[in-house]
């Protein structure tokens, strides 16, 4: 096998020079001949080395079990006594037992080093209060495309389609022409309010009690933030209605209230109740009714 592998390696080099590439491409069975033969030859050369090594180890190498005994882990009594002796000598020579002032001031200095850590705890505040429980979504706020900022109508979304969305307020401007949200404030608000909007055949949706009117003609809206550790999710399998998180493969069934069907996420992805306004645009009925984002000890 090893000899045959060498033959394929030589053929690989031969193929490299033999077949034309570029405009006068050689074609075999509809494939680029150079790529085809280079791939086959290199693949066979590697495969034969692997297969040969396996055969060699299985058929020719000795198959006897060998047991190697470990030496005792415990040191001998003599070694232990010597170590204790050296330790005591070191303590004696350091004078720590005879100089209580130095010893105590050293211990005090080491203890005082804990104080800066306590002071630094102040930088963890202020406590977030209920900020983690709320997003900028409010009743009547339009759902817009997250790139164009265009408000969405039900006819903009086809069955099987997923659209990444945001609240319209992120694109709104104040009287001075400035965006209402910008900088770090915008990023923080976006991290909680990002959504995915999907449309399914209404007959395939099984809304939980109380959620019967949370969608519009098969259009449902969910948080885009994974409930595991908060990755943005928008990998959508339209056949299974599953939304997949690329970070650790948590999978949520959007036809079944965002239920977790696979992976480490501990709770369903939150759903945003939506409806249409008088102009026919998709709008939120309210904020999310549960916290969005990662689970932690208070959220399960
Ligand atoms: S963040 Fe989504 S599975 Fe971990």
Atom of ligand 1 nearest to the CA of 231: 1
List, run by run, the mean pLDDT of 10-residue segments along the chain (300 residues). Answer: 90 86 76 87 93 86 81 87 92 80 87 82 75 91 95 95 95 88 89 96 95 96 95 93 95 96 94 96 96 75
| pLDDT value, residue 298 | 61
Residue 287 Cα, ligand 1 centroid: separation in angstroms?
23
Counting ligand 1 atoms within 8 A of each CB, the residue from 194, 248, 269 with the most, and so the one to mutate, is: 248
**Alpha carbon distance, N-terminus to C-terminus of the chain:** 58
Cα 255 to Cα 276: distance, rounded to the nearest angstrom: 20
| pLDDT value, residue 141 | 96
Instruction: Please give the C-alpha separations between residue 177 and each of 173, 180, 181, 182, 184, in angstroms, as whole numbers.
Output: 5, 9, 12, 12, 19
| pLDDT value, residue 79 | 92
Residue 74 Cα, ligand 1 centroid: separation in angstroms?
46
| pLDDT value, residue 84 | 94
CB of 263 sitting under 6 A from ligand 1: yes
The CB density around residue 56, as the number of other CB atoms within 10 Å, is 12
| pLDDT value, residue 296 | 73
| pLDDT value, residue 14 | 87
CB of 229 sitting under 6 A from ligand 1: yes
Q: What size, in residues, is the chain? A: 300
CB of 226 sitting under 6 A from ligand 1: yes
Q: Mapping DSSP to helix (H, G, I), strand (E, B) and coil, where does residue 223 land?
A: strand
Burial of 91 (0-12, 13-18, 19+ CB in 10 A): exposed
CB of 192 sitting under 6 A from ligand 1: no
CB of 219 sitting under 6 A from ligand 1: no
Cα 95 to Cα 93: distance, rounded to the nearest angstrom: 5
CB of 225 sitting under 6 A from ligand 1: no
């Amino acid at each position: 096998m090893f000899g045959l592998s060498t033959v394929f390696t030589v053929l690989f080099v031969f193929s490299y020079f033999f077949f034309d590439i570029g405009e006068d491409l050689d074609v075999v069975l509809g494939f680029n001949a150079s790529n085809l033969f280079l791939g086959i030859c290199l693949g066979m050369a590697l495969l034969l080395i692997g297969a040969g090594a396996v055969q060699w180890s299985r058929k020719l190498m000795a198959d006897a079990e060998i047991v190697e005994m470990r030496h005792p882990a415990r040191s001998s009594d003599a070694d232990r006594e010597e170590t204790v002796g050296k330790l005591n000598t070191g303590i004696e020579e350091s004078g720590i037992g005879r100089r209580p002032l130095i010893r105590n001031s050293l211990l005090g200095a080491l203890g005082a080093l804990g104080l800066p850590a306590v002071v630094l705890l102040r930088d963890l505040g202020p406590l977030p209060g209920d900020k983690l429980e709320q997003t900028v979504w409010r009743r009547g706020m339009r759902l817009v495309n997250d790139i164009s900022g265009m408000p969405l109508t039900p006819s903009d979304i086809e069955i099987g389609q997923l659209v990444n969305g945001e609240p319209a307020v992120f694109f709104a401007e104040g009287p001075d022409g400035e965006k209402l949200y910008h900088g770090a404030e915008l990023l923080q608000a976006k991290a909680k309010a990002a959504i995915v909007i999907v449309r399914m055949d209404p007959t395939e949706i099984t809304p939980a009690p109380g959620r019967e009117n949370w969608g519009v003609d098969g259009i449902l809206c969910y948080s885009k933030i994974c409930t595991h550790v908060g990755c943005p999710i928008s990998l959508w399998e339209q056949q299974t209605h599953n939304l997949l998180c690329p970070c650790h493969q948590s999978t949520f069934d959007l036809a079944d209230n965002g239920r977790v069907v696979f992976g480490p996420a501990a709770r369903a992805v939150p759903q945003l109740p939506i409806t249409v306004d008088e102009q026919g645009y998709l709008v939120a009925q309210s904020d999310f009714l549960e916290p969005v984002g990662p689970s932690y000890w208070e959220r399960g």
